[in-house]
C-alpha cells in the first residue's frame, strides 16, 4: 500500500481491531498529514514515524470498559478506561503536530517522550495515559509553555490517584479537559481562575465532595460536565446570577 500510495495525506485504520502494528515503511509516506489508528490493537508507534515531518494529527489508543462496570449500562454511563500507545524517541521532530494522543508514557522511554513534548509548541490537543507520581512533574513541565493547547486528556496510573493534587498549573486557554483516575479531591488547577475558558469537563474519580461541586460551579463558561464516580449518588443544584435555584440534579 505504501508503495502504491506514496502521495497519501490521510490514513485511517480506526476500528480495525485485528491490526497489531504499523510497518516501518510507514515512514515513506512523506506527504502524510493525518494518522488515525484509534480502536486498533496497536500498542506502539514505529520509529519511522519520526520522518513524517508533515504530520499534523496522530490519533491512537482504544477506550475499554471497566470490568467492574455492568455491561447492561449505556456506554456513556460506564467508567472509562484507556489503553494508549507508546511513542518512539524523536517524536519532538514533528513540530507541525496539532493533535497527539493518546500516548502511553508509563514505560522508561516515557520520561524522554515527555521531554520531547516541549518541542511540539503547536499542539492544540494532547492526550496522555500512564501519568503517575514519578512522572507527573515532568508532565506539567512538558505542557507549561504550550500556549495553543485547547484540549487536554490525562489518564492516571492505577494507585496514583493523588499525583495531581498539589499541581497548580496555569491552564487558562483550555476549552476541554479530561482527567481520569483521580482520588477524592480535585486538583488545585481545577478552579475558575485557571480554567476561565473551559466549556467541557470530564472527571473520573473515586468521589466528588460538595466543596468540589462549589469549585465546578464557579467555572464561568462550563457547558458540558461528565462525571464518572464510584460513590452511589451526587446531589447538586444550579442557580441563576441572583442565587435563585433553577434545577436540582441527583446522580444515582
| pLDDT digit string, tens, across residues 133-177 | 999 989 988 888 888 999 999 999 988 888 887 666 667 789 999
Name the grid cell of 43.
500498542
Confidence bin at 79 (pLDDT 50/70/90)? very low
Whether 4 is covered by a domain: the verdict is: no
Residue 37 in domain: yes
For residues 104 and 113, the answer to whether their CB atoms sit within 8 Å is no
Look at residue 39 and tell me if it is in a domain.
yes
**pLDDT of amino acid 193:** 65
- For residue 175, the enclosing domain spans 10-251
Is 70 exceeded by the pLDDT of residue 245?
no
> CA-to-CA distance for 52 and 85, rounded, in angstroms?
18
Nearest to 105 by CA among 121, 126, 84: 84
Task: Summarize the confidence of residues 125-135 as an average pLDDT.
Answer: 94
Q: Please indicate, yes or no, if residue 1 is contained in any of the structural domains.
A: no
Place of cell 509553555: 145
Residue 217: CATH number of its domain: 3.80.10.10
Q: Is the pLDDT of residue 70 over 80?
A: no
186: cell is 480535585
* Confidence category of residue 190, pLDDT binned at 50, 70, 90: confident
Sequence-distant (6+) residues with CB within 8 A of 219 are: 192, 195, 196, 198, 201
Q: Which of 63-67, 78-82, 245-249 has the highest mean pLDDT?
A: 78-82
C-alpha cell at 77: 454511563
Confidence check: pLDDT of 116 > 80: yes
User: Among 37-41, 75-79, 86-90, 217-221, which stretch is predicted with the lowest mean pLDDT?
Assistant: 75-79
Entry pTM: 0.85
In a domain, 5, yes or no: no
pLDDT given at position 252 = 38
Q: How far apart are the first and last CA of the chain?
A: 50
* Count of domains forming the chain: 1
pLDDT number for residue 59: 96
Mean pLDDT rounded to a whole number for the chain: 83
- Residue 102 in any domain: the answer is yes
Task: Tell whether 2 is covered by a domain.
Answer: no
The reply to whether 57 falls in a domain is: yes
Q: Which residue has the higher pLDDT, 188 or 154?
A: 154
Which pLDDT score is estimated for 249?
Answer: 43
Amino acid at each position: 500500500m505504501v508503495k502504491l500510495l506514496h502521495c497519501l495525506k490521510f490514513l485511517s485504520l480506526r476500528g480495525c481491531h485485528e491490526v497489531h502494528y504499523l510497518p516501518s515503511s510507514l515512514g515513506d509516506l512523506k506527504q502524510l498529514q493525518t494518522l488515525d489508528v484509534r480502536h486498533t490493537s496497536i500498542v506502539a508507534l514505529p520509529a519511522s514515524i519520526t520522518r513524517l515531518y508533515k504530520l499534523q494529527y496522530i490519533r491512537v489508543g482504544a477506550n475499554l470498559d471497566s470490568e467492574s462496570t455492568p455491561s447492561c449500562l449505556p456506554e456513556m454511563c460506564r467508567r472509562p478506561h484507556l489503553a494508549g500507545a507508546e511513542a518512539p524517541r524523536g517524536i519532538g521532530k514533528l513540530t507541525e503536530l496539532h493533535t497527539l494522543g493518546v500516548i502511553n508514557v508509563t514505560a522508561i522511554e516515557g520520561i524522554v517522550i515527555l521531554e520531547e513534548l516541549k518541542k511540539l509548541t503547536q499542539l492544540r490537543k494532547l492526550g496522555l495515559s500512564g501519568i503517575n507520581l514519578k512522572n507527573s512533574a515532568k508532565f506539567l513541565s512538558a505542557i507549561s509553555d504550550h500556549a495553543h493547547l485547547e484540549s487536554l486528556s490525562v489518564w492516571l496510573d492505577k494507585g496514583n490517584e493523588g499525583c495531581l493534587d498539589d499541581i497548580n498549573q496555569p491552564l487558562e486557554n483550555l476549552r476541554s479537559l479530561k482527567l481520569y483516575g483521580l482520588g477524592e479531591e480535585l486538583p488545585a488547577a481545577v478552579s475558575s481562575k485557571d480554567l476561565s475558558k473551559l466549556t467541557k469537563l470530564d472527571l473520573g474519580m473515586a468521589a466528588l465532595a460538595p466543596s468540589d461541586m462549589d469549585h465546578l460551579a464557579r467555572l464561568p463558561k462550563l457547558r458540558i460536565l461528565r462525571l464518572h464516580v464510584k460513590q452511589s449518588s451526587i446531589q447538586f443544584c444550579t442557580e441563576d446570577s441572583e442565587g435563585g435555584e433553577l434545577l436540582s440534579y441527583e446522580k444515582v
